[in-house]
Structure 1
């Protein structure tokens, strides 16, 4: 007798191959229109994968060259229920091939990993989304509620040509949506021998990219100058870069710490919270960044010739602000920078925070535990930002859930925007099984 084909195994295989193929499509987003590649080739690939199995897709170009988004809505069994948004972005940050041991746009599958820019941020999740959507269509699987799959542009530069544009111009695509899942969560951290916790993102810091500008007196480089814009800016940037903002324990961070304490018995000394968190291993860097606001200088611009004192010097600073800290953060900035430094927001997106409860959280937990018995799900705050910042404007409750079971020795957080970005093949296969189970029971 012919055995029925294992369509679960097929979906897992497809998730791996699709992730690799997506990585080969360069969608580098520099944040500057003239050097950004755009997402159109990847969007065409995504649409083709969906249309191949019979979906009708919606493609939207969002105002910039090659800035494309793809949507498909899968009807659920109960039209009276609200819809769930499942979103992933198609763009990636740039990568310098000379720094990598494997070419960043090769999508190489070797040594048990899928390699390349976007492997974890976030073409792995896009691959899993496509594989599950294709399986649902092939096998006639009807989810319990409507699912809106969104494949988006421009997340890496704040979403002006992706989520932000869509929310402002095509809010109808999100009709009936009350909850969403996307990056960055659902990945495992190992807390002890065979003790794994899967982090579900319930909050993320606000993004505030800031330009600083100092004006001075132009002149000849050989003269004495007491009004040098470069000197004044350098001093201000130095003060800001060395400043440590106060520790503030938000509700979501407290929930994370309480969860870890309950699982491991660890104690978090309120008088040395940063030191206590540092004991969490490689994940400590990510959690430590959620204890306080940060302001990291990233770019400096001044002058046009070695012997000319410029009249203007500028810097760009990447600020990440905790929920509820916006006003206090700005007051602190003014005190650090002083009156001679002009500042303006290049990108200013709010923090996101929800609670770790409800039927959707239960469905995530059930799906993870079914594939990894004995696993635990815990809430946490992301120090970065996602497209959730746009979707919360529509009243959508957002979570990060891109499930991966990771090796205990893998420094996962270092791979985001890092050199030799890669994702374990078995983690993608695991995540596909979990996502499939979750979307059948959400």
Structure 2
């Protein structure tokens, strides 16, 4: 039996490094495109993951709210029954991809020149594969973590999560008994600042989701007539006001910590308090250069118009016009978000949430965050680890309903010039084999010491 929970008692085997590449490629080849509206089938990928866990001696369960929309949950017992459990989760669905836009077929899982190609290579079948590889390596070596580790592979993250983590949190909360913290996607990757510094941002917060439907109503009529009650005009004016609005800075503890640590890395004085705090935030972002990209989307709320729908004939003024807006709000910022939308839409346009999820933040001074930092520094000693808030959202929102504090920790060491953020939902999504190997080493280290 390897030394349980030790930082030195276990070393990842070569078989795990081979498996993480193979599992990533295999999962990519299983088309789990989520087109929204229920148009997805994750079950084949869920069965694949469950089979890999069962081969290692675990007892995974497959759970569906809707036929074909399968989730997988398994528990690995730790050595300390009194310790709080840790949830490790990843989603199985992916966004659509058009093959004619790609250099390789998006569901080929091709491994070429040390890189695995395909939809899900970064978002996030690579992480699913890392989890499988680490757990199987442990079971072969007789390793057990200190805490219980609950593994969840979910459906429907790329839409509403109603068939995935939302369903699990609502209907199967007992499977997550004892879990107080979780790790999921979008964090612990290499960010190159262009000046030789390598930064590893670890997710410790998410903005809330506010997808909005705007509706303007007016008087229908002939397109050649004077009409001062034109629904399209009213909607267009509201959409323009929303798109041009400059939201004020709002610093959450996570974002403040991120700005403070980044400023210290670059030897910049950070003036984030007092009468001129707003000017200080924007001035600091200007001084941070490329590193500002890690925080600039999360220093304020946002609302971006994304869809318009009005009319059915050029010479007919419609009686109704509809727009959709992707809104995001920071922890503590939802009231400001609502009040601002009321003002920007005005009296002639109604708005409502099409989809709403809470904002999250996690402590950056916790033992768990310190262990994530230490795991990264063990395998990337040249890197600087900082907290950050995600501009979008993950399954952590649904698991938060169970009182689980979520972090973004899906480690990858990436070469300079590799645009990690562009891989999410982008063309030619891919991940280097060496990045997968790094992720397995770091994930193994963290999970054994968490």
Q: Same fold (TM over 0.5)?
A: yes
After the TM superposition, which residues 2-401 of structure 1 pair with which residues of structure 2 at under 5 Å, given as runs? 8-33=13-38, 36-62=39-65, 64-191=66-193, 195-268=197-270, 271=279, 273-274=281-282, 276-278=284-286, 280=288, 282=290, 284-401=292-409
Alpha carbons 1:88, 1:150 under 8 Å: kept: yes
Considering only aligned residues, what root-mean-square deviation do their CA atoms show, in Å?
1.9
Write the distance in 2 (CA, Å) between the matches of 1:88 and 1:149.
8
Q: Do residues 406 (structure 1) and 408 (structure 2) align? A: no
- 1:132 shift after superposition: 0.8
- Paired residues of 1:207 and 1:384 also in contact (CA < 8 A): yes
User: Per-residue deviation at 1:198?
Assistant: 1.5
With the length of structure 2 as denominator, give the TM-score of the two structures.
0.92
Where 1:186 maps in the other structure, the secondary structure is coil
Distance 2:185 2:224 in 1: 53
- List gaps (5 residues or longer) in structure 2: 1-10, 272-276
Asked whether the equivalents of residues 177 and 396 of structure 1 are also in contact (C-alpha less than 8 Å), the reply is yes
Moved more, 432-441 or 284-293: 284-293
1:416 to 395, 414, 424: 424
Cα gap change, 1:222/1:246 in structure 2, threshold over 3 Å: closer, same or farther?
Answer: same
Per-residue deviation, 1:207: 0.3
Aligned-partner Cα distance in 2 for 1:420–1:274:
33
- Could you tell me how far apart the structure 2 residues matched to 1:227 and 1:193 are? 56
Distance 1:44 1:181 in 2: 22
**Secondary structure of 1:198's match?**
strand
Q: 1:410, CA displacement in angstroms?
A: 2.1
Q: Secondary structure of 1:212's match?
A: strand
Whole-Å Cα distance in 1 between the matches of residues 286 and 209 of structure 2? 24
The count of residues paired between Structure 1 and Structure 2 equals: 434
